Amino acid sequence: MSDSTDIPEGYKATELGALPEEWNIGKLDHVGILIRGVSYKETDLGETLQPGFLPVLRAMNIQTGSLDLKSNLVFVRREKVSEKQILKYGDIVIAMSSGSKSIVGKAAQIHDDWNGSFGAFCAGFRTQSKTIDKEFIGFLFQTTAYREYIEKSACGTNIKNLTIPHILNYPIPLPPLPEQHAIATTLRTVQEAQEKTHAVIAATKALKAAMMKHLFTYGPVPLEEAERVALRETEIGPVPEEWDVVDLEKILKIPVRNGYALNQSKAKEEVRTYKLTAVTKNDFSYKYTKKIGVDPSKLENYWLTPGDIFIARANTPEYVGLAALYRGEEKYAIFTDLLVLVRVDVNIVVPKFLLEFLRMPVSRRYYQSRLKHTAGNFPKIDQNIINATKVPLPPLKDQKIISEIIETLDQKLAAEQSRKEALDTHFASLLHALMTAKIRVSTA
């Protein structure tokens, strides 16, 4: 609660801080009910949506601010679902139990007419008051105040659980209905901009995937001329007749090498160098940490140069074989043997061209099918497997054209990602400001 001397004129002290005089404080059980999810057995499930079955959401369907109504569904016999458990427009689905602290309590509102329900590890909140704007309540479940409340409320050691009272006792601000509606409308406008940006990103990714498939099959020719390109079958699929297909080791400037195996206990903290730590799954970029100390004289063979490619050689299976391109932003060295350094002869191959081929499904399948599992260690691939990677080798001029086409799409993606991040930041800031009355919106 704020000190009374800090309360602006027209505001009052509440358990939620200083709020306008005309705002009330309530709890969720004042404005709605919580509905338990559907319990079912394996024998109650169908493989697909078919007559007599309904789709049922699980915690994994609860995304940030939205529900995934298309993937990871289970299909449950209709008689196992009560009428109350059928989702209605404006209902909020909440993850009530999870082994992950970040998932328990996660909530999202349904904005579609969708004939389905939610599982037993979830619950549904349904408003039952004419003094409440449904969208306003939906946005309250996205606030940092809600997340902080959940983190304090969830109980359990390995599995975190929420009870119905945990949710229904959550204290909420209750502005007058017209202001609730104005707040929800303002936030929804920003959310729509976010959704449009997400759609552009998804469309650009789909375009890039289709373009890469075309370029690595037919070369840099227009779509309408693809059928005129003479192809030949190879280990990596059809390619233009004039392209070679070679082992990766044939196009290297130096042999493939693992990163430097740093002994953390003997690291010299007074020497500041850099360590690459991961290749991420979603965007094939890399993370890095600073403050890793080691004698630089030991790193002669591990410093990266612009155009180097590194490949994840040991990690969880879905990460092995992921590749990223080092563009020379700062001076980095590879310290971990989870990564492999690949430095190509730029007189033979354009690094960006090779990178994009390593991201193609055929390369991913090659590495995934050759994983070695050793006791107590991550699944991994060895240098011989990487050396034997079959790669296409078009004329250098074609490689450059293909690389430039893909780079243009990458720049488009990067711009949209930046826009998405800016909108996400703006939404979070605006959500907090509106729900705490730091910013007021007109109800006229």
Whole-angstrom Cα distance, residue 334 to residue 314? 14
Tell me the C-alpha distance between 12 and 361, whole Å.
Answer: 60
- Count CA within 13 A, CB hemisphere, residue 148: 5
Residue 68: Cβ within 10 Å count: 14
Threshold 0.85, pTM exceeds = no
Fold annotation for 24-174: Adenine-n6-DNA-methyltransferase TaqI; Chain A, domain 2 (3.90.220)
Instruction: Give the count of beta carbons closer than 10 Å to the beta carbon of residue 419.
Output: 16
The CA-based angle 117-99-94, given to 5 degrees, is 30
DSSP string of 3-69? -GGGPPTTEEEETTEEEETT-EEEEHHHHEEEEEPBP--GGGEESS--TTEEEEE-GGGEETTEE--
pLDDT 10s digits, 115-139: 999 999 999 999 998 889 999 999 9
Report residue 63 as tokens: 């995304």
Q: What are phi and psi of 403, to 5 degrees?
A: -60, -40
The residue among 189, 197, 194, 193 whose CA lies nearest residue 412 is 197
Residue 275 φ/ψ, nearest 5 degrees: -130, 125
Strands (E), 58-193: 62-63, 66-67, 74-77, 92-95, 97-98, 107-109, 117-118, 122-127, 160-161, 171-174
What is the C-alpha R_g of the chain?
27
Point out which residues pair with 63 in neighbouring strands. Answer: 66
Given a contact cutoff of 8 angstroms between Cβ atoms, the answer to whether 232 and 241 are in contact is: yes
**pLDDT tens series, the chain, 444 aa:** 445 557 889 999 999 999 999 999 999 999 999 999 999 999 999 989 999 999 999 999 998 888 999 999 999 999 999 999 999 999 999 999 988 888 899 999 999 889 999 999 999 999 998 889 999 999 999 999 999 999 888 877 677 888 899 999 999 999 999 999 999 999 999 999 999 999 999 999 999 999 999 999 999 999 999 999 999 999 999 999 999 999 999 999 998 888 767 665 555 544 444 455 555 555 656 665 554 556 666 777 777 889 999 888 877 778 888 888 888 777 777 766 678 889 999 999 999 999 999 999 999 999 999 998 776 667 888 889 999 999 999 999 999 999 999 999 999 999 999 999 999 999 999 999 999 999 999 887
- Spatial distance between the Cα atoms of 127 and 91, rounded to a whole number of angstroms: 7
* Residue 19, strand partner residues: 12
Q: Read off the pLDDT of residues 178-209 as tens digits, 9 standing for 90 and up.
A: 999 999 999 999 999 999 999 999 999 999 99
Are the C-beta atoms of 399 and 350 separated by less than 8 Å?
yes
Residue 170 dihedral angles phi and psi, to the nearest 5°: -65, 120
Count CB-CB contacts under 10 A for residue 166: 19
Taking the chain, what is the end-to-end CA distance rounded to the nearest angstrom?
30
* 195, 148 contact by CB (below 8 A): no
Distance CA 122, CA 167 (A): 12
For domain 244-392, give the CATH number: 3.90.220.20
Q: Residue 378 contacts by C-beta under 8 Å, 6 or more apart in sequence?
A: 314, 315, 316, 320, 338
The answer to whether domain 24-174 and domain 175-240+394-444 are alike in fold is no
* CATH superfamily of the 175-240+394-444 domain: Bipartite methylase S protein (1.10.287.1120)
Q: Give domain limits for the chain.
A: 24-174, 175-240+394-444, 244-392
Distance CA 334, CA 348 (A): 24
